[in-house]
Amino acid sequence: MKIFITGGAGFIGSHVTNKILDAGHEVTVYDDLSKGYLEYVDKRARFVKADLADFKTLMKAISGHDAVIHLAAESIIKASIDNPKTHLEKNINNAINLLEAIRLNGVNKIVFSSSAAVYGETGQKPVKEDAKKSPLQPYGASKYAIEVLLSAYHHSFGISSTSLRYFNVYGPRDDQLPVTRAVPNWFKATLTSRPVVLNWAGKQLRDYIFVKDVASAHLLALEKCGGLNNYNIGSGSGHTMIDILESVFKAAGKRVPVKDGGERSGDPSRLVADVRKIRKELGWIPKYSLEQGMEETFIFYKTHPQSLKRI
Classify residue 154 as left (phi > 0), alpha (psi -120 to 50) or beta.
alpha
The arithmetic mean of pLDDT across residues 125-147, rounded, is: 94
Active site residue 139: yes
pLDDT given at position 124:
66
Return mean pLDDT, the chain. Answer: 94
CA distance 182 to 187: 9
pTM of the model: 0.94
Percent of the residues in the chain that have a pLDDT greater than 90, as a whole number: 84
Tell me: the pLDDT tens digits for 239-293?
999 999 999 999 999 999 999 888 777 677 778 999 999 999 999 999 999 999 9
CA distance 276 to 70: 24
For 167, the 3-state DSSP assignment is coil
The arithmetic mean of pLDDT across residues 117-127, rounded, is: 85
Tell me: the pLDDT tens digits for 3-14?
999 999 999 999
CA nearest 237: which of 201, 181, 275, 283?
Answer: 275
For 49, the 3-state DSSP assignment is strand
pLDDT given at position 176:
84
The arithmetic mean of pLDDT across residues 53-81, rounded, is: 95
CA nearest 136: which of 271, 311, 307, 302?
Answer: 271
Report in angstroms the alpha-carbon separations of 118 from 3, 72, 103, 122, 138: 26, 17, 25, 10, 10
User: Rounded to the nearest 10 degrees, how much is the dihedral formed by the CA atoms of 169, 175, 176, 181?
Assistant: 50
Catalytic one among 30, 139, 144, 208? 139
pLDDT given at position 20:
98
Which domains, from first to last, does the chain contain?
2-169+209-233 (3.40.50.720), 170-206+237-271+289-308 (3.90.25.10)
Q: Which residues of 16-37 are buried (b: 16+ CB within 10 A; e: fewer)?
A: bbbbbbeeebbbbbbbbeebbb
The arithmetic mean of pLDDT across residues 104-114, rounded, is: 98
pLDDT given at position 267:
72
Tell me: the pLDDT tens digits for 159-168?
999 999 999 9
What Rg do the C-alpha atoms of the chain give, in angstroms? 19
Tell me: the pLDDT tens digits for 175-189?
988 888 899 999 999
Pairing verdict, β 205-206 and 239-240? antiparallel
pLDDT given at position 58:
98
Within 10 Å of residue 122's Cβ, how many Cβ atoms?
Answer: 18
Residue 96 has pLDDT above 70, yes or no: yes
